[in-house]
Structure formats: structure tokens, C-alpha cells
Structure 1
Amino acid sequence: MDKVEYLKEMILSGVNNLHNNYPHIDKLNVFPVPDGDTGTNMNLTATNGYRDIKDKKFQTIGEELSVFARGLIMGARGNSGVIFSQIVKGFSVGMKDATLLNPGEWKQGLIKASEIAYQAVMKPVEGTILTVIRETAEQANGLADDLDDKEFWTQICQFANTSLDNTPNLLQQLKDVGVVDSGGYGLVKFFEGMSYYVQNSKIVAELQKLEVNDGGNLDIDLEDVEFGYCTETIVDLSSNYVNKLKVNTIRDQLQLYGNTSMVVIIDDDILKVHTHALNPGQVLTFLQQYGDFRTVKVENMTLQSDYQVKGGNPNAKKGWSESSTVLKERNLVNQTATIAVVQSEEQKDYFEKELGIDLAINAGDKMNPSTNDFLKAIRDVDAKNVFILPNNSNVILAARQAEKEEKKSKVLVIPTKTIPQGVSSALSFEPGGNTSANVKNLTKAVKNVISFSIAQAAKDSVSDGVDVKKGQQMAIVDNKIIETQPSIRAVFEKSLSKYITNKVEILTIFVGQDADTSNVNDLRKMLDEDYNIEYEIVDGGQKIYTFIIGIE
């Protein structure tokens, strides 16, 4: 048997072994979203790739791998499936001149597989399939080029399994649930299938009866998490974009939309995009300008996680109510207006009634309003100049995207990253004032406030260089954990007190849902007895943070 046909049978053995294990891989799926489809996606991706080489004759190893990789890209599903396609793409590049399938050639393939896979992912995360391919390639590089083929593949599988077993130590989400990375597990099974063929000259048989997946596989608390939509498409690029469109052009725009898990691939005349989006229509509308859709897939990950997680996802069970989509005519009747993003109805009332904000968007504890949410708010305030206070660093991109897309009003985004910064900016706003002066004053106000918050640690971790134990009270300053204390009172006395200097004039204190009367009394007592300072206590109603305190 020539080496080209030998490789095809190796690949089929790997594809079959991946198929035989895909239900179990689904059960492990917790990162980046516990939607329970990693195994399914990798299986469908691999099967589609093999279909493209199954009945074809190839002259070279490089040609065969190239067609297999293209088939994987065209059929790639999910984050893991797309990354898997890029791993194989790397093999095809690294082994384009291979003739012997010896260890030296496979080592070149592994190096390129790691390199191209990492390039495809905007924000590579360690403890995933990426780590497994990289560490396997690095370890394999130390093997002799003339090593026996059987021993070489035994070592490859050992390296891959060792890397896989270590993934929970690199990614906290895996450690919390007690599983290894599902995508990495799928890659290991593919390698083990290929190795089986090398060791036994037999293809792993495709099993007809597989492990049953009845759901409820992960015991995690989703609280009010909404994952959005897994959005994937292949675009046949218009001729004017072929060999001209850059990956970063697509990535940068998707990031502005607030998307996550972005994998963008340009392969000759096709654009392949995978992303997690709260507004998939926005993504598809943007991509359509580059050509015609060949395939489109949009899946609700919140519904998927309802099946995968014990107890389900509370957001997956929410109902639907009809609302009017007719937009009222805009006359820009107001000269200026202000919009702020808040975490609760109580904060919404405070910003609107006490601070004079025209419209506060209650984004809940997730604080992830979409660009469309901002555009709707801009329409509602109907003003020539609209100031937006995002009040969260993760919200600024969506606000800036609304600034770009809004055609009638002039939108000005003030980069407030916390609720206290939003309060300080709101108090600096002059409704009848000059626009540029307001921008200057509001932006300056952000720098004059320290944002201090208190939250209880939900798990053991190391964050911002601080060793955090479950149940401890975290003192957080300007979104960074500075230290932990055993109680809220201790945070007041040992952490908060450091920031109340003789230059401080006032504290604005938002009391969260988890705070009790004794906590508030302790804070009052400390401020009244130890400091000559003004303070305002507000029913903040926020989750997660027991107290949010603005220090000015």
C-alpha cells in the first residue's frame, strides 16, 4: 500500500474513533459555554472532511491533507470543530512535501498545526484543545526523526493525554466541575484512532451503539447567565475581496459588537466565521457585504445549556411576549439627553430621579446591553446630542458601536467603567451647557472617584495576584481585587478605611441584595465615630456586590 492510501486509512481510523466517543465528549463540555455539543460538532466536522477524500485518488500526501482540511473547514461546526479544522490545515501546510509519513515529517506537521490553530483564535485560552496540540508538538519535537513509527505514535498519544490531564490545572472552569477539556479530549481520541491503525494495521471500527447522553451532566450554578447564540457561516467571497480581505477586519468588527469565542478563517475564496453573539442578525448583516452565504447556522446556547446542566438554565425557560416594532418619528426635540447603564431597578430609579439621567438602561448584573439596546434608548430620548455613561468596561464597546451606527443624533460616550464613576459624571453634567465642555467635565469626573466594592468569593481562585478562598469577602477597588477579609466588618475596618483620607468629601453607598441590617449599621457606626465625612446610603438592589461605594 502506498503512503497516500495508508494516510487515508489512518485518517478514517481517527475519524471513527472520534465518532465512537462523541457522546462522552458532549458530557464533558463546560468551556467556553456548557452547551453539550463539542463532541457532536467535532464528529460532524471530521465526518464531513473524510467524505471529501473518501472516494478520491491523490498523487501526494500534501494534496490529500489539503483536501481533507478544506472539507473540515467547509463542514466545521462549533468552536472546537473550527479549531480542529485549523489543526489539520496546519498538518497540510507542514507536510505539503511529505513522502514517507516518518516522524520527521509528522513533527513538521505538528509544529504547523499548533501555529495555525493559535493564529485562528482571537484570544487563545490555555487549558483547551489549543494547549493539547501545542504541548504535544513541543514534546514531539524532542523525538528522533528516525524513531520507529509505532513508538512515535505511542509517544504522541502519551504526550497528548498528559497535556489533556493537566487542562483542569490551567482553566478554573474545568477544575470547578472536575472534567478535562472536551475539545482536547476529542483531539486525543482522533490521535489515538490514527495510532491504532499504525500499531495494528486495522481501522478502528465505527460503533453503531454509542454511549447514551441523557443530559444533566454538569453540576454548576448558571444563576441568570444568558449565553446568546452560536453563530456560524461560510461566505463565498466576492471577487473584489478574494486575496484582499484581512482576518482582523472581521475580528475587530465582531469585537465591537461585543461578541466572544471568535474564530475567523479566510481560505482562498471563502470566509468562515464562528462567534458567540447576543445579536446574530447584526453579525450576518455585517458579513453579507463580503459575498453570498453558502451556509448559516444559529443555535441558542442558553437552550442547549438547559439540557447539559443539572437543574437547567433559568433563562432557557423564559417566555415571550409580543411588543410593537413600529418606530416613532424622531424630531430631535431635545438639545441634549443622557443615558446610563445600571444593574437594577433601584439603581435605575436613583439615576433617573436623583441624578437627573434621562434614561437608565437596567442591564441587570450581567451588564451586557447590546448595540441595539443603545440605539433604542437613543431613539427614545430623541435629542440632538446624547451622552452615554456605560458604567462598565465591558459595555463601552457596544456603546461606541451605537455611536458609529446612529445617524441622526450625535452620540458621545463617556468611558465610565463603574457605577460610582457614572454617579460622579452624572453630577457633573450641565443640561444647558456647551457639548465639548460637558464632555471634558464628565470625563474629568471619572478620575475624581475611587470605586470600592465588596463581594463574597464563590470559589477558590487567584485573581489580580490575590489568593482568594471561597466564602471570603473581597475588597475590590476600580475593578481589581486588592485583598480579602474574613467578614464584611473587617473589610470596612481594614480595607475601606485605607481610602478614606482627609481629602475625601463624600461617600455614595449602594447597598446590595445580600447586605443585611447589621452590615449597614456597622458601616454607619464606623463612619460616624471615626470620620467627619458626608455619606449617602442608597438602596442599590444589585446582585453579586454586597456594597458598591463611590469615594470622592
Structure 2
Amino acid sequence: MKTTQKEKLINMIASGVNDLHNNYPHIDKLNVFPVPDGDTGTNMNLTATNGFNEIKDAELDSIGQILATFSRGLIMGARGNSGVIFSQIVKGLSQGMKNSEDLSPKEWKKGLNAATEIAYKAVMKPIEGTILTVIRETSEQANKLPDDMDVKEFWKKIVQYANQSLENTPNLLKALKDVGVVDSGGYGLVKFLEGIANYVINDKVTPRLAQLETNEGGNLTMDLMEKEFGYCTETIVLLRPEWVNKLQVNTIRDQLQLYGNTSSVVVIDDDILKVHTHALNPGQVLIFLQQYGDFQTVKVENMNLQAERQVTQKTTSNKMPKWTENSKITPKRSLANEQATIAVVASEQLKYYFENELGIDLAIDGGSMMNPSTNDFLKAIEQVDAKSVLIMPNNSNVLLTARQAEKEEHKSKVFVIPTKTIQQGMASALNFDPSASPQKNNTNLTRAIKSVTSFNISQAAKDSVVDGVTIKKDDYMGIVDGHIMMSVPSLNVIFEKCLSRYITNRTEIITVFTGQESDAKSISDLRKYLDENYDIEYEIIEGGQKIFNFLISIE
């Protein structure tokens, strides 16, 4: 049975989405920095997958309708700067090909031209050497090809042009050249195009792989280009009827610029407003946007802190189930408990420790990315069912989300303890007194943060200079309260010359959480160092966290 043009298009998109999925851990790793925190691949994969879910089982009548539905799904699920721009590239394809009756090179050229135009318009300050460059240069080269060219040869050329553009991105953007990588968003787009080409040339959809490359993380792209600081702020606003087809992109973009925001991408699609921006004051942005409608989603992340995306999450114990967004919550809330505690942790082992050793009522296993949503917090608050709930985010990247949950929760009184590390969360948890009032616990748990020094040890994945410290690949870094203090090849030197600075005659106890990369020798060396140099009580616990060899609490 002959495949229709609509079926071919859906297979092309499926192949592209799958190829992007198969490569997203590597995309995350492209912008490697000493402390990995990149999630471009993760964002593009989630964006693309959400878009494809909208078309895979839908009854759609035309090429234009398939692309428009895919585009809408991408916009609704778009995450991160590259995810939003990718959604606009597809929106351009859908507009350029809305009347197409076939998938000939002539029609794809129309789509690629519109994709370039729409994507560039969406970005407040287009930067060359990024995904924008890749789509523009690919389109420009495609325009030189004849309209009646064989479609297989056409797609071979598209892939060739896209890869040539991608390879040149470091020459256009110094931030990429300095760390020796191509643009990660551009790489993601190339993989999407390669997946499409694979179907066209071989008549086979690229399979979605179950086993992917291990993701150790990377760094963000757009903010590094411009040396930005602040919060990556994303939201979808459901526009009120009076603003539909009346609100202009420039109205939003100009106001964001007045706020001093950067990397802003603004999209209006019928009744939705999608905004991605880097802001020093995200609250200011949200208050401004709220006048146009209700928030469907809100995400705020601190760009200066680690937010590495976990790729594979294997359950190592049936006794320690992962917290998921699908956890079953009792629908009726009686507020049966007076007080309850919630903490965010970075592994299943830490979840077990916080719940069973520290007495936390519910620990949300956020994995190494430590990135639960507002909804995760609200469901956790429902589950503990208490009149007062104290939340320990244990990561700066989570703090704002927890505070958003505090605003959204209307039954329980929520107190967010501003813990920014696992070590601070442990110190706070130990000070919780169920017989004290919630207000008193809030004060005591917050005060306990000052009693602990958070000392972390991680291994560098790339040469760089951070916090004025020259870092070589595979160096061990001593990180204190988020700042890199030393980088040397020897782990023992970190113990002797860096850790020693923070252990004083006032230190009472040291707690060590070992990570996935902690081997028996390094643990033995640390134990030997502490035994021979200090008469201090210490405890070594299997933490199971990624990225950090050791999380050390000094109290």
C-alpha cells in the first residue's frame, strides 16, 4: 500500500524527533564546564517529544495541519531558549508550507525560508553562531538548489549544509571557541534534520533508543555567551479574550528590555503567550505578564548554579521508591497533622537518609538536576497533609520553585527554609522540634543554616577558568558554598590544602556523603586524613549523588 504524503510527513517528524532524543545527552555535554549544568539537549528533547505527542495519533487533514499541530505542541511544551527557538523554526515551517500538497524540495524551501524569518523575529537579540545561524545558512544554501531536484538528493544536501554551518559556529561565537565546542542548540537542530533525511533516503524511521549515552551534564549556552547572571524565567500565559489577536510581541519584548532582561524570546500563538527571558528580578516579569491572562506554567531557575539533567534514573532499591509527578495523592485533605517537613534531595540514597535517619516526612528525589516543579511541591504538601509544612529546597535552583508553591498552596501554611545545599538541609532537619510552634521551627531551622559549611568535591570535565581559578580537565575541585576555591590533580591535595582551611578548633562534627564517583581508595584516603589530623567525630554515609565525589558538612 502506497504511503500518503501525510503519512510520510509524520514519519519524517518521528524520525527527526527520535534522532534528537537519541542524542540529547551528548547535546547536554557539548557546553561542558567544570561543574556541569547544561540542559539544552534535555530541553529540546522534551520540547520535540511534546510536539510529536500531539500529532502521532491525531486525525489531521493536510501537510499544513500536521505541521501546525506539531508546532503548537512544541510551543506548549517548549523549554529553555533553544527549545523555544526550535518551536519557532517549526512554526515557520508550518506557515511556509500551510498550503503544500506535496513534500517536494520546492515546498521545503518555502518552509525553511519562513522558519528562518519566524525564528529570528522571536528573539530580542539574535546572536550568530547559534541555532539561528544554522537554520538561516541551511535555508540560504537550499535556495540555490533546483525546485525539481530528486528529494533524496535534496535532503542529503540539507544535512550537508546544516553540518557545515554547525561546524563553523565556534568561529562566530568566542564563547564556543574558548571551550572547543559547537553550538548545542544548533547541534540539536542538525540531529532533527538528520533524522528526517534518514527516513527520506532510507524509507525507515530512526528508532528511539532505550539505552543512551551517560549524561554527566554540561553548561548553559546563551547566558555564557553574554556573561549573564540571574534567573532563567519561562512561562505560558493563557491570554484573556480581550488580548487575543490584539497583544503585540513588541509590547512584551520592549518591557522586558526596559527591565534589563536578556536572551528574551517572546511568542504569541493565538490565545497563548510564551515567554523565555533571563531576568535579575523574575517576580517583576511575572507581575507584568499576569495582566494579560492566567499562567498555565511557570518555571524559574537560577542560572549560576548547577542544574545538570539526569538521563537515566535506575531504581536501586524497592524500599526507596522515587518521587514522581504521578504519585498517588489522597484527594481529600483533613490536615490531620500539625506539622510536617519536606526536603529535596539528589539521589535515592539521600531520600532514604533524610526520611529514615533525619525524620523528614517526605523527601522528593529530584535526581542530580534537583529540579522538582511547583506541582511536585503541591502534591508533596497534599501528601503530608499537615496544617503547617516546612520545606527545605536544599538547592538555590529549587528555592524559587518552593516559594512559588508556598504562594499557590491555600490549605496548609507553608514555610520555605532557604537551604541551598544538602548539607544545610541536614543541619536544618536536625533542628526540627515537633513540639515547637511552626514559627519557632521556621526560625530555628533557618538559623541552623549558618552553623554549617558546605564543602563539595567534584572532578572537572573541561579546561577553564572559574572564580579566578585555573582548572584543568580531570582536576579535583574544592567547592565551598558554591564557589570553587582550588583545582588540583590530586584528591589528597584537596584534603590537605583546601578542606583543612575549613576544619577549625570550633568544628564539632563532619558528615561526608559519598557520591557515585567515590571509589574505595578515595574514601579510604579521606578517612585516613581525618583520623591522622583531627580529633573530631565524623560520619561517612553513602549519598549516591552524581557530579560530586563528596558532599562534606562541616559543623
TM-score (norm 1): 0.56
1:368 is aligned, of 360, 366, 371, to: 371
Separation in 1, partners of 2:544, 2:70: 49
Contact 1:455–1:473, Cα closer than 8 Å, also in 2: yes
State the one-letter code of the partner of 1:128.
T
Instruction: Give the aligned residue type for 1:401.
Output: Q
1:84 is the counterpart of 2:89: yes
Cα distance in 2 between the residues matched to 1:113 and 1:326: 42
* 1:88 CA displacement: 9.3
Does the 8 Å CA contact 1:90/1:117 hold for their aligned counterparts?
Answer: no
Structure 1 residues 406 and 186: CA distance shift in structure 2, 3 A: closer
Q: Which residue of 1 aligns with 2:410?
A: 407
What is the one-letter code of the residue matched to 1:545?
A: F
Question: Which letter maps to 1:183?
Answer: L
Distance 1:366 1:185, change over 3 A: closer
Among 435, 442, 445, the residue aligned to 1:442: 445
Q: Map residues 248-327 of structure 1 onto 2, 5 A cutoff.
A: 264-266=266-268, 269-271=270-272, 273=274, 325=328, 327=330
* Match of residue 485, structure 1, among 488, 496, 501: 488
Paired with 2:248 and 2:337, the residues of 1 have a C-alpha distance of 42
Residue of structure 2 in register with 1:242 after alignment: 244
Q: Which has the higher contact order (CA 8 A, sep 6+)?
A: 2
**Quick one: which amino acid aligns to residue 379 of structure 1?**
E
Deviation at 1:550, TM superposition (A): 1.2
1:428 aligns with 2:427: no
C-alpha deviation, 1:213, in angstroms: 5.7
Aligned pairs for 1:90-489 (under 5 A) are 116-119=121-124, 127-132=129-134, 164-167=166-169, 170=176, 175=181, 181-183=187-189, 209=201, 214-215=206-207, 221-222=213-214, 238-242=240-244, 264-266=266-268, 269-271=270-272, 273=274, 325=328, 327=330, 329-457=332-460, 459-462=461-464, 464=466, 466=469, 468-489=471-492
AA aligned to 1:412 is: F
User: Which residue of the partner structure matches residue 507 of structure 1?
Assistant: 510
Q: State the partner residue of 2:6.
A: none
Cα distance in 1 for partners of 2:328, 2:133 equals 46
| 2:511 partner letter | T
Q: Which moves more between the two structures, 349-358 or 401-410?
A: 349-358
Unaligned runs of 5+ in 1: 1-18, 53-68, 92-108, 137-148, 151-157, 188-206, 226-232, 252-260, 276-286, 294-311
Provide TM-score, normalisation by structure 2.
0.56
Number of aligned residue pairs: 420
Contact 2:238–2:271 (CA under 8 A) maintained in structure 1: yes
Amino acid at match of 1:348: K
Percent identity between matched residues is 46
1:10-57 CA distance string (max 9 Å, x none): xxxxxxxxx99997898576443474997999xx9xxx9x988xxxxx
Deviation at 1:250, TM superposition (A): 11
Amino acid at match of 1:221: E
Measure the CA separation in 2 of the matches of 1:541 and 1:452: 16
8 A contact 1:25–1:182 mirrored in 2: no
CA contact (8 A) 1:456 1:472 kept: yes
Per-residue deviation, 1:125: 8.7
Secondary structure of 1:395's counterpart equals helix
Shift of 1:375: 2.6
Q: Secondary structure at the match of 1:181?
A: helix
**Counterparts of 1:338 and 1:37 in 2: how far apart (Å)?**
33
Matched AA of 2:241: S
Tell me how far 1:341 sits from its aligned partner.
1.7
Instruction: Return the match for 2:497 from 494, 497, 512.
Output: 494
> Is 1:164–1:185's contact at 8 Å kept on the other side of the alignment?
no
Judging changes above 3 Å, is the alpha-carbon distance between structure 1 residues 375 and 249 closer, same or farther for their aligned structure 2 residues?
A: farther
Does the 8 Å CA contact 2:396/2:419 hold for their aligned counterparts?
A: yes
Once residues 172 and 87 of structure 1 are traced to their aligned partners in structure 2, the CA distance between those partners, rounded to angstroms, is 32
Shift of 1:549: 0.4
Q: Deviations over 1:338-370 (max 9, x none)?
A: 111223343334323443323323333343333
Looking at structure 1, the residues matched to 201 and 162 of structure 2 have their Cα atoms a distance apart, in angstroms, of 27
Separation in 2 of the partners of 1:524 and 1:134?
56
Counterpart-to-counterpart distance in 2, 1:549 and 1:248: 49
Tell me, yes or no, if the aligned pair for 2:329 and 2:383 is still in contact at 8 Å. no
Instruction: State the shift of 1:538 in Å.
Output: 2.6
- Once residues 363 and 75 of structure 1 are traced to their aligned partners in structure 2, the CA distance between those partners, rounded to angstroms, is 26
Q: Distance in 2 between matches of 1:263 and 1:418?
A: 31
Q: Distance in 2 between matches of 1:76 and 1:524?
A: 51
How far did residue 387 of structure 1 move?
0.3
> Residues 133-160 of structure 1: CA distance to partner in whole angstroms, max 9, x if unpaired?
7999xxxxxxxxxxxx99xxxxxxx999
Match of 1:537 in 2: 540
Task: Note the alpha carbon deviations across 1:494-521, whole angstroms, 9 max, x for none.
Answer: 2212222444443221123433443233
Q: Is the 8 A contact 1:449 1:551 kept in 2?
A: yes
User: Residue by residue, what CA displacement relative to the aligned partner does 1:371-390 show, whole Å, maximum 9, x if unpaired?
Assistant: 34323332332221110001
State the superposition RMSD in angstroms. Answer: 6.1
Secondary structure of 2:241's aligned partner: coil
- The 3 A distance-change label for structure 1 pair 489 and 82 is same
Change (3 A) 1:27 1:355: closer
CA distance in 2: counterparts of 1:477 and 1:113, whole angstroms = 44
Does the 8 Å CA contact 2:14/2:205 hold for their aligned counterparts? no
Summarize the Cα distance change of 1:436–1:211 in structure 2 as closer, same or farther, 3 Å threshold: same
The answer for the alignment partner of 2:155 in structure 1 is: none
- Structure 1 CA distance, aligned partners of 2:518 and 2:528? 16
> In 2, Cα distance between the equivalents of 1:248 and 1:527?
60
Task: List alignment gaps of at least 5 residues for structure 2.
Answer: 1-10, 28-40, 97-113, 145-159, 194-198, 218-234, 254-262, 277-289, 297-310, 316-320
Q: 1: distance between equivalents of 2:210 and 2:330? A: 43
Which amino acid is 1:222 matched to? Answer: T
Residues 174 and 526 (structure 1 numbering): CA distance in 2 closer, same or farther, change over 3 Å?
A: closer
What CA deviation, in whole Å up to 9, does each residue of 1:232-270 have, x standing for no partner? x9999553233676879999xxxxxxxxx9965125x54
Tell me which structure has the larger Cα radius of gyration. Answer: 1
Q: Residue 526 of structure 1: CA displacement?
A: 2.2
Compare 382-391 and 323-332 and name the one that shifted more: 323-332
Aligned in 2, Cα 1:326/1:175: closer, same or farther, shift over 3 Å?
closer
1:391–1:473 distance in 2 versus 1, CA, 3 Å: same
SS at match of 1:497: helix
Residue 36 and residue 438 in structure 1: after superposition, are their counterparts in 2 closer, same or farther (change >3 A)? closer
Q: Which amino acid aligns with 1:362?
A: D
- Contact 1:454-1:548 within 8 A present in 2 as well: yes
For 2:406 and 2:250, locate their aligned partners in 1 and report how far apart those are by CA, in whole Å.
Answer: 21
